[in-house]
Structure 1
Amino acid sequence: MSYRIAPRRVSFDWQETPLHWIPDEPTATHVINVLHLLLPAGERWFVKVFKEALPLVRDEELLKDVKGFMGQEATHSVQHAYVLHHLAEQNLDTGPFIQHVAFLFDVLLGEKPPFGMPLTEREWLRFRLSLIAAIEQFTAVLGDWVLRAEDLDRAEPDPVMLDLLRWHGAEEVEHRSVAFDMYEHCGGDGTARYARRLLGMAVTAPVLFYLWGWGTRYLVRHDPVLAGRLRYSLREHNKAVAKGLLPSWRELGRAVPRYCRRSYHPSQEGSLRRAVDYLATSPAARTAAGALGRAALS
């Protein structure tokens, strides 16, 4: 399937979304809510790094895809930031955790290597591109999972939050190859490029899993409805996995060795048809398109 990757207008109304948007499932709710903690700063960082790398792109088709990717990621960042405002309105303050996330992306992974690391500007850029490619491996897997998660529908979650997750997940599947192709294009030659791709995953996987656990513990601990009556635990997490409300550890874990195969390409991940079909029917995208049409007629 050949088509142009481009950002979509979306509109979400959060007024009726409860804090525990999966009813009676605070652990599953907050495990997924960690996305809202990581993605606003993380996806802004994706865009910054790609802007640095744009002068290195010599392939016109890749350049078009990269610009479409950047537009989609910028939109994702904005929409997840709106959810943070909604959480604050429900007395769940994410500010202290967000400060740590901002430090990670803006300082530790900023334009200059931290701690005086002796890396050239080009090598530091290539390393950060390898991190983005590895992160996008997980976002593609998560995006495909949420599009297939029928048990999540049966749990009767808030429809607006579910649409946000599926709209975002579908776009992650749609552009799943772009960050990988960008890294391969800009990452140098042969063995060094492949070794750096492995290093990017070796750094990304444990850091991402650590941030997810830390973020979930933070949300559960500061949840004003729970008021300290629950702690995040592996047992509670696994209960949610067994109900189909979260992806399995096996599904997430298998994404790593697939990525590490030398012959690997992310076009093997997920169903592009399923993603495109959802994007054509997403309530948020249809609402925004309708509002745009009404504005044009007025």
Structure 2
Amino acid sequence: MIVPRRVSFDWRRTPLHWIPDEPTATHVINVLHLLLPAGERWFVRVFKEALPLVTDPRLLKDVKGFMGQEATHSVQHSYVLDHLAAQELDTEAYTRQVDYLFERLLGERPPWGIPFPAGRWLLYRLAFVAAIEQFTAVLGDWILRAEALDRAGADATMLDLLRWHGAEEVEHRAVAFDLYQHCGGPEPLRYIRRVGTMAVTAPMLLWLWIRGATYLIGHDPQLAGRLRYTPLAHDRAVRKGLLPPWRGLAAAIPRYLRRSYHPSREGSLGMAVAYLASSPAARAAAGAVGRAALGKEG
């Protein structure tokens, strides 16, 4: 079952450069914290709009579990933004633009007064969520396997956040796609919409990521302008295993565009479930739930 885990993390001992001596890799991954609070709140809003369209009881249960997990992800990444601000790295100028993207351009009403027929804009937004979730599943699987981060001495709390989140992305990797397929109408329009939204999603995410990494490195108070984001520095971190390879991210696109595609083939569910059983934060959350249940019984 897909259920939210009410985790919490203590950021007091996490340094600004949580991968020692690797500011580029640190901040490229930190872009997640800039995008996810607003993005995952938006996922929840879009799915809430779609709930009345779901007629399959099993899918409805999965969608509600997905919404609970994404709401928790949004909150926990917001706390990381607070932690960055406490270390004098203010992200508000960038996150305001991310908020505009999700709240206005992808909001409940079509942007710029585009005259979509009733209900059609929701289908496009569901397709955008499914396209984004293709990348979150790939990234989730990568972070679970990224042993180079452990060897580099990456902060244990940040790794637990990223791997807990990544494991849940693998766990619910098919829900957004299944919801879109369920609500998206007849073929071939459903498939055409899936292709079109991926054609927008992939370059937009790349642009947002490069802009985010550039912003974080440029505003890092410890770097004081001595470093800037460059593709060369990014590629060095990829070769060290500290960032996901471009080839792996790019290969996710043609897989998604196959007519026979289903996200259940992405990542390792067994690895994800195993990590969720061992994650310090997830174990603490499960223990808190168990203690609360025992208290009610008593």
Alignment partner, residue 46 of structure 1: 43
Q: What are the residue-to-residue correspondences of 1:225-240 with 2, within 5 Å? A: 225-240=222-237
Q: Name the aligned partner's letter for residue 110 of structure 1.
A: G
> How far 1:89 sits from its partner (Å)?
0.2
Matched, 1:89 2:86: yes
> How far 1:152 sits from its partner (Å)?
1.2
Matched, 1:56 2:53: yes
Where 1:65 maps in the other structure, the secondary structure is helix
- Partner residue of 2:98 out of 98, 101, 109: 101
Alignment partner, residue 131 of structure 1: 128
**5+ unaligned residues in a row in structure 1: which ranges?**
none
- Partner residue of 1:218 out of 209, 215, 218: 215
> How far 1:288 sits from its partner (Å)?
2.8
Alignment partner, residue 69 of structure 1: 66
Q: Name the aligned partner's letter for residue 64 of structure 2.
A: K
- Partner residue of 2:255 out of 258, 281, 293: 258
Alignment partner, residue 184 of structure 1: 181
Where 1:190 maps in the other structure, the secondary structure is coil
State, as a whole percentage, how many aligned pairs show the same letter.
Answer: 71
Do the aligned partners of 2:44 and 2:71 also contact (CA within 8 Å) in 1? yes
- Cα distance between partner residues in 2 of 1:169 and 1:64: 21
User: 1:19-57 deviations in whole A, cap 9, x for unaligned?
Assistant: 000000000000000000000000000000000011100
- Cα distance between partner residues in 2 of 1:287 and 1:61: 28
Do the aligned partners of 1:112 and 1:121 also contact (CA within 8 Å) in 2? no
Do the aligned partners of 1:126 and 1:186 also contact (CA within 8 Å) in 2? yes
Alignment partner, residue 7 of structure 1: 4
Alignment partner, residue 146 of structure 2: 149
Do the aligned partners of 2:47 and 2:67 also contact (CA within 8 Å) in 1? yes
Matched, 1:32 2:29: yes
**5+ unaligned residues in a row in structure 2: which ranges?**
none
Aligned length: 295
- Partner residue of 2:118 out of 117, 121, 142: 121
Do the aligned partners of 2:5 and 2:286 also contact (CA within 8 Å) in 1? no
Runs of 4+ in 1 over 2 A off after TM superposition: 287-298
Alignment partner, residue 19 of structure 1: 16
Alignment RMSD: 1.1
Do the aligned partners of 2:143 and 2:162 also contact (CA within 8 Å) in 1? yes
User: 1:161-193 deviations in whole A, cap 9, x for unaligned?
Assistant: 000000000000000000000000000001000
Structure 2-normalised TM-score? 0.97
